[in-house]
Chains A and B, each alone.
Chain A
Amino acid sequence: MAGRVIMPKLSDTMEEGVLVKWHKHEGDPVSSGDVVAEVETDKAVLELEAYTDGVLRKTLVEEGARVPVGTLLGVIAGESEAIDALLAEGAAVAVDVGRGERPFAPPQPPESLQTSVLAQVAHLTPPPASGPLPVTKASPLARKLAEQRGVDLRTVQGTGPGGRIVERDVEAAASRRSPAVTPTAGERREPLSLMRATIAKRMAESKTTVPHFYVTTEIDAGPLLAAKTGFATTGEPAIGVTELLVKAMGEALVAVPRVNASFTGDAVVFHAGSHVGVAVALEDGIITPVVRDADRKTVGRIAAELFDLKARARRKALKPEEYQGAGVSLSNLGMFRVDDFAAIISPPEAAVLAVGRIVQTAVIHDGRVEPGHRMRMTLSADHRVIDGVIAAKYLEEVAARLENPWQLLR
């Protein structure tokens, strides 16, 4: 029984995908369940699995090619089976999954394929170890209403059992948004990308369900500036404030392990290893790659890793394990005209450190006013896990290290 290998449609926003790699080549025997190819969508990397046995008789798309959803990529068939008809049919296969009213529905495998999700945009959501994309649970009426009112269910917080989105949730979402619903002249409506929708949902969930509190300090940034300037001449990849912050934050997690924890409802889970996430701005959103065991790595190694992680983050080529599992994250807007800000915690992490720019200002030193440099940092903490004193201690541990940056180079 011959089967087609087809570019799957993962989300309602996906119109084309890139064939990253053929894992099987023409003439290779294929068993049901074998990974035939790897496909990159706008935000995800998928493995395409065969579900028929046979031989990969024909590959029609070259590695690296970008093709529309539904395109016939290859044909699996018996060794001597006729496949001309299949080839002639080409891409005339309707692939319609993940329709608008069913965002996040698991991709329905077209015919001969089963897709398993390797990576996905939901970097803020700890996804299951394997299996399909999370399904948005909503009552049928809620789905219908959402479609009629143009409400994206991915942005709605459900209040029914198990988080089911019910009629009242859609009504509430529609009425919250309704003043701006009617597009006036000059306005432009941009449907949510998967990433934007995920950020919208997860951040709203965090800010409304995680009890945030904030502690702020100002550090003497003179030594940090000196260190940064010193490193700037020592080659690529450059060591900057971010790299020193990651190292300091990793060490501080060891000093104050209570911060390196997650709230799970009935327990606090303490993480093994001091992993620090770093928010990286993308064209439409943000992703937070993780530097593992930041306390045990040299600043140079951290810089090299971050350089690679950021580059791949911008190409959307991060693996899930590379953007999950941080104990604490860093959001640094110091390169902008931002003196201080408070970030939203990204669960299951219990804290996030927001860092502003270094400013030159008058400081008091030994009772005299002198020119100096200062930098402000605000730690947002989840009060279910971290109390004020713990947050203060952690901030102090980070600050002390940044004020003696050369110690971080050991």
Chain B
Amino acid sequence: MPVMAYRDALGLALREEMRRDDRVFLMGEDIGAYQGAYKVTKGLLAEFGSRRVIDTPIAEAGFVGAGVGAAMAGLRPVVEVMTFNFAVAAMDPIVNTAAKARYMSGGQVSVPLVIRGPGGAAHQLAAQHSQALEAWFCHVPGLKVCAPSTPRDARGLLKSAIRDDNPVLFVEAELLYGTTGEVPDAEELIPLGVAAIVRPGRDATVIAYSKMVREALAAAETLARDGIEVEVIDPRTLRPFDWETVVASVRRTGRAVVVQEGSPFCGVAAEIAARIAAEAFDDLDAPVERVTGFDAPVPYARPLEAATIPDAARIAAAVKRALYLA
């Protein structure tokens, strides 16, 4: 199986879908001539031309709104936001229009739109550009939210998202773009709403998504040296969520640690923890642990920034607490 970078796997998915379906087109800032701020759209302008790879002004509310309208009109737009921090400027077309159109039109209008880009912190981008805002979108009925952690999942999920008739927020991560992994030659669609058990284990279940999966796997590796076998689950899609896989795992292990990069209050981890407590109650040996960012803006200073973002050490400590070993 070929090994490729996360950004190239995304580019592959876009190319495959654009070749398959000429209704698929791209819009975003610097995605054409500059080939994308993170080079995800590299080579696509040359292959598909400026009618299907459209550079936009710096005006998120405008081009996201244009994407919503194009989707309503029958096209399948993939809109890139340079980071999800900027999608905040487009909350009205996303939340009030894209998420509601199908429901309020009684199914007459659907919005097959993908909005994709990186979420979360990278290195010293400061408070306004380091936010993990996926919980905002997960909160809205009518939206789907993906957050893949590997090149293979990124490609397979993006293809499914493009073919989905609902608006899908596709959250990538700047620090994942350069990571590599195996991606099959053959076309592969990974369905939305199906989690992956990325490491099996019997002692505790760690649920992590996007780049936190890498930290969870590192924690599992460390804990394995102490004989603690952690099961790591990557939900891959946050909405719809694969409760079945997560709850079944916690029923086996009796302990759950939920990891998210963003701030804790009303976060994705809070929802997962609540659902586990309700559905796996009789099998829990300890309260569900959460490992999250701090309830504060992300600092610019490097040591402070590093301290706020969950890492393998914090995840391992939480697993030990859940096992009454700390």
Contacts and interface: CB of A to CB of B under 8 A. Distances in A.
B324 A140 contact: no
Interface in A127-162: 139-144, 159-161
Contacts of A160: 286, 324
B284 interface: yes
B262 interface: no
A159 B282 contact: no
A167 B282 contact: no
Contacts of B281: 140
A140 B254 CA distance: 9
Q: Which of A142, A161, A167 counts the most B-chain CB atoms under 10 A from its CB?
A: A167
A99 to B, nearest CB: 14
Contacts of B286: 139, 160, 166
Interface residues of B, number: 8
B324 A141 contact: no
A265 B168 CA distance: 58
Interface residues on A, range: 10 to 19
Interface in B251-299: 254, 281-286
Interface string B193-218: 00000000000000000000000000
A312 interface: no
Given A141-B254, A160-B324, A166 B282 contact: no
Contacts of A166: 285-286, 324
Please indicate which of the listed interface residues A141, A142, A144, A161 has the most CB atoms of chain B within 10 Å of its own CB. A141
B55 to A, nearest CB: 56
B283 A144 contact: yes
A139 to B, nearest CB: 5
Interface string B285-326: 110000000000000000000000000000000000000100
B41 to A, nearest CB: 49
A366 to B, nearest CB: 65
Contacts of A161: 324
B281 to A, nearest CB: 5
Contacts of A141: 254, 282-285
A198 B285 CA distance: 24
Contacts of B284: 139-141
B252 to A, nearest CB: 11
A160 B285 CA distance: 10
A159 B324 CA distance: 9
A144 to B, nearest CB: 5
B285 A143 contact: no
A155 B285 CA distance: 18
A142 B285 contact: yes
A354 B254 CA distance: 46
Contacts of A207: none
Interface SS of chain B: loop
Contacts of B254: 141, 167
A141 B283 CA distance: 4
A393 interface: no
A384 interface: no
A141 B285 CA distance: 5
Interface string A102-130: 00000000000000000000000000000
| A139, A142, A143, A168 — most chain B CB neighbours (10 Å) | A139
Nearest to B254: A141
A326 B116 CA distance: 73
B288 to A, nearest CB: 12
Contacts of B283: 140-141, 144
A322 B281 CA distance: 41
A315 to B, nearest CB: 41
Nearest to B286: A139
A143 B282 contact: yes
A138 to B, nearest CB: 10
A140 B288 CA distance: 12
Contacts of B324: 159-161, 166, 168
B231 to A, nearest CB: 16
A164 B294 CA distance: 29
Nearest to A161: B324
A140 B282 CA distance: 5
A55 B284 CA distance: 47
A140 B279 CA distance: 12
Interface in A273-330: none
Contacts of B285: 139-142, 166-167
Contacts of A159: 324
Nearest to B251: A141
A142 B282 CA distance: 9
Nearest to A147: B282
A97 B281 CA distance: 20
A153 to B, nearest CB: 14
Interface string B234-266: 000000000000000000001000000000000
A335 to B, nearest CB: 47
Given A141-B282, A142-B285, 6 more contacts: A139-B284, A140-B283, A159-B324, A160-B286, A161-B324, A166-B324
Interface of A: 139-144, 159-161, 166-168
User: Which 8 A-B pairs rank lowest in CB-CB distance, beginning with the nearest?
Assistant: A141-B285, A167-B285, A139-B285, A141-B254, A140-B282, A144-B282, A140-B284, A140-B281
23 contacts: A139-B284, A139-B285, A139-B286, A140-B281, A140-B282, A140-B283, A140-B284, A140-B285, A141-B254, A141-B282, A141-B285, A142-B285, A143-B282, A144-B282, A144-B283, A159-B324, A160-B286, A160-B324, A166-B285, A166-B286, A166-B324, A167-B254, A167-B285
